[in-house]
Structure 1
């Protein structure tokens, strides 16, 4: 992007945008002509372009405007993406321009939906992909939602962004959750596994396997955060968390189910502030506040509900 303009410039239809053309001409794997360029849906902090030339098809990921306050480390994203590819889970990285974006191989497959994740067989494939990622090369960065939430809260306060009613009331409970979860044994985690970041691709044997894309928030973390976040993002019923945990560990693990539920609560609580930051800073035509409030309402139901003490006990914490 050094010669192709900034991400903010890339706003026209990609096939007609001179800035896109100038950018792609500077990337070796996309410079070949003729080429077709289409926007891929779903990106809120990136613009994702599918580029097809006579030689290859790739996805060019360009950081979007309005995401600077989220403290995304783009160099770590690139290096962790490379590690995930080495683990056999992420798409191979074919180009990187420091500070501006990366280009990865296009994976032919279908993007999962929340409804897909209600299928226990699909959840088993997701658990297998997570195990493969978690057993792969260690990432260069760390991810701790307790620390992320605290940083986001400072950013929201500094900029005067909106905060939901009662938000800070739960700070003492968050401290208790941290104690209950105890010391974390961390592995390479994606940390943002909504269905749109999961692809079902042919496995070469007539079936499918799950591949994982978009490593903006990746970092070494507790695997139960990953599993709880999957369950939370897809708003799956409680029994499917048992399925996911059982598939991941190979047996029933009630203690890890409780840990995943607590991490899911922290995911909802922390990502609420992500939405607040984007609501106050992004120019995208998207209702970030409504998106965040849906998560916050689910967090409230757990904070105020009857099962929190049981979860704290089951996770091994102190009261």
Structure 2
């Protein structure tokens, strides 16, 4: 990873903080970047320092694009942006008063309507300046693994034809693209007094909104009933094709993010990092493999494609 300026140097680069009482602490939970809480005259802010090596490895969008998308997302459900330090690169954003959701909370049926509302608000906002496609990201990360001789999980390439079937089914009747977060693990949801807010736009881009929901389902390990509830709350519709679309994207999320953790383990993670990227890659691939090998996958493909599953 590239050298990051010292926190003392970073604090001096924010003009509005110079000469004021400043306290700071490193925030835990970020898997790629360097995140700090900074209290200035007892007013809390978040200093998000972006690691260029992350986007260089295909693990995030370019820092300047992430910052631009963060600014746009602030118009809907994102934190307000107070300062941009493009040469670092870093951004000073609002410290949202609220509670970071846990994986268990995201699985509670009573929170799902608030999550769906937050997604709809983001998706109705201004378009981002870049696009995101989970299958294109898979191809990109496969190329990174090949160039750096990173080992793939057992059976990964052998299931490529099934992944291609997912891609083809989902491409047949695409939903209108919307500005999406694309990485909504529980820790990126903040429950506040005025609803759920969304932080961390490292992988953001315009995308099929059904992927957003499928990715939430993958990260929180939703069962089909919870997927159906999330889809119904978001779309205000219980249509089987929409529900199946979200479930297919749940599979695609696990398939591709398996490689994200594989690359992070091989190229980015240092010995001092507590998070086990290799174990996370193995867990995601286990979930993906189970879904890809499930005999019921054909029914989901048929529902999304609008055909009878017994008559291809």
- Given that residues 59 and 105 in structure 1 are in contact (C-alpha distance below 8 angstroms), is that contact kept between their aligned partners in structure 2? yes
- Given that residues 45 and 66 in structure 1 are in contact (C-alpha distance below 8 angstroms), is that contact kept between their aligned partners in structure 2? no
* Pair 1:186 & 2:177 matched: yes
Tell me by how many angstroms 1:183 deviates: 4.6
Q: Larger deviation: 29-38 or 171-180?
A: 29-38
Return the TM-score normalized by structure 2.
Answer: 0.92
- Residue by residue, what CA displacement relative to the aligned partner does 1:101-155 show, whole Å, maximum 9, x if unpaired? 2111111110001111122221100000000000000111100011000010000
Q: Which runs of 5+ in 1 are unaligned?
A: 1-5, 11-18, 204-208
- Given that residues 229 and 264 in structure 1 are in contact (C-alpha distance below 8 angstroms), is that contact kept between their aligned partners in structure 2? yes
Question: Counterpart of 1:278?
Answer: 264
- Given that residues 112 and 199 in structure 1 are in contact (C-alpha distance below 8 angstroms), is that contact kept between their aligned partners in structure 2? yes
Question: Counterpart of 1:39?
Answer: 26
Return the TM-score normalized by structure 1.
Answer: 0.90
Aligned counterpart for 2:193 among listed residues 199, 202, 224: 202
Q: Larger deviation: 253-262 or 57-66?
A: 57-66
- Residue by residue, what CA displacement relative to the aligned partner does 1:203-232 show, whole Å, maximum 9, x if unpaired? 2xxxxx100000010000001100011011
Pair 267,317 (structure 1): closer, same or farther in 2 beyond 3 Å? farther
- Given that residues 275 and 292 in structure 1 are in contact (C-alpha distance below 8 angstroms), is that contact kept between their aligned partners in structure 2? yes
Hey, what's the Cα distance between the residues in 1 that align with 2:149 and 2:252? Answer: 22
Paired residues, number: 300
Aligned counterpart for 2:127 among listed residues 135, 138, 145: 138
- The 5-angstrom pairing of residues 42-61 of structure 1 reads 42-54=29-41, 56-61=43-48
- Given that residues 32 and 53 in structure 1 are in contact (C-alpha distance below 8 angstroms), is that contact kept between their aligned partners in structure 2? no
- Given that residues 8 and 65 in structure 1 are in contact (C-alpha distance below 8 angstroms), is that contact kept between their aligned partners in structure 2? no
Hey, what's the Cα distance between the residues in 2 that align with 1:233 and 1:29? Answer: 38
Hey, what's the Cα distance between the residues in 2 that align with 1:213 and 1:134? Answer: 14
- Given that residues 191 and 217 in structure 1 are in contact (C-alpha distance below 8 angstroms), is that contact kept between their aligned partners in structure 2? yes
- Given that residues 136 and 188 in structure 1 are in contact (C-alpha distance below 8 angstroms), is that contact kept between their aligned partners in structure 2? yes
- The 5-angstrom pairing of residues 257-276 of structure 1 reads 257-276=243-262
What secondary structure, in the 3-state scheme, does the structure 1 residue paired with 2:96 have?
coil
* Pair 1:123 & 2:112 matched: yes
Tell me by how many angstroms 1:286 deviates: 2.5
Q: Larger deviation: 247-256 or 121-130?
A: 247-256
Hey, what's the Cα distance between the residues in 2 that align with 1:183 and 1:80? Answer: 27
- Given that residues 77 and 215 in structure 1 are in contact (C-alpha distance below 8 angstroms), is that contact kept between their aligned partners in structure 2? yes
Cα root mean square deviation, aligned: 1.7
Hey, what's the Cα distance between the residues in 2 that align with 1:314 and 1:251? Answer: 15
Q: Which runs of 5+ in 2 are unaligned?
A: none
- Given that residues 45 and 65 in structure 1 are in contact (C-alpha distance below 8 angstroms), is that contact kept between their aligned partners in structure 2? no
* Pair 1:24 & 2:15 matched: no
